[in-house]
Structure 1
């Protein structure tokens, strides 16, 4: 999945998992054209990551995947391809805020607990 696809999925999740193209364009930080966002949504639909329902002349898009699982999968994939996965994890951990680091420690101390 490309960066723009990931950004559109994150924006869709941020809008409660359901939105029209215009709502997504307004939510995205970049100055992406409406047609660009529509193209990305079409690709995501083809990949089965979102579904859509017609509302008048437009579609409303809905997440069909859990965003956290999707992002975690991308992180695992990047680590799998890294020549130094421990180094990558080290650099990642160093970028965490204090609160994020605290939450990570809690998860590592009790990995079976669902959050």
Structure 2
């Protein structure tokens, strides 16, 4: 099995927390992640996300349950802007990004770029 980058797993954990919408435990969260990551790996990521202020937690018995504290769309958007800002050729990055969109994603992007109809 190929190992994923820690940043990718962190993004998957954030997405799973966003989908949960409420407090969730490490074991429940882990079961919804692809690739069967180790419990301790998911727990470490949750601790790091908590340290970064991206999740809140509450103790239930001997364990913590976690909930996303930030707007997922804003978080992902900020990451995309950071990648573009540090790219040597942002136009090529945008071009590749658009080429890799599904037809539905491309249609939605066109709608967003065109703005509301007046």
Give the secondary structure class of the aligned counterpart of 2:67: strand
Q: Check if 1:63 corresponds to 2:68.
A: yes
Report the Cα distance in structure 1 between the residues aligned to 2:35 and 2:20, rounded to whole angstroms.
Answer: 16
Measured against aligned partners, the alpha-carbon deviations of 1:7-45 in whole angstroms (never above 9, x if no partner) come to 211111122253110111101102211111111100100
- Aligned match of 1:10 in 10, 15, 22? 15
In structure 2, runs of 5+ residues without a counterpart are: 1-5
Q: Which residue of the partner structure matches residue 92 of structure 1?
A: 97
Report the Cα distance in structure 2 between the residues aligned to 1:18 and 1:66, rounded to whole angstroms.
Answer: 15
In structure 1, runs of 5+ residues without a counterpart are: none
Measured against aligned partners, the alpha-carbon deviations of 1:35-91 in whole angstroms (never above 9, x if no partner) come to 111111001001100000111121110100011111111111111111111111111
Aligned residue pairs total 111
Q: Which residue of the partner structure matches residue 45 of structure 2?
A: 40
Q: What is the alpha-carbon root mean square deviation over aligned residues?
A: 1.5
Q: Check if 1:81 corresponds to 2:82.
A: no
* TM-score, normalisation: structure 2: 0.87
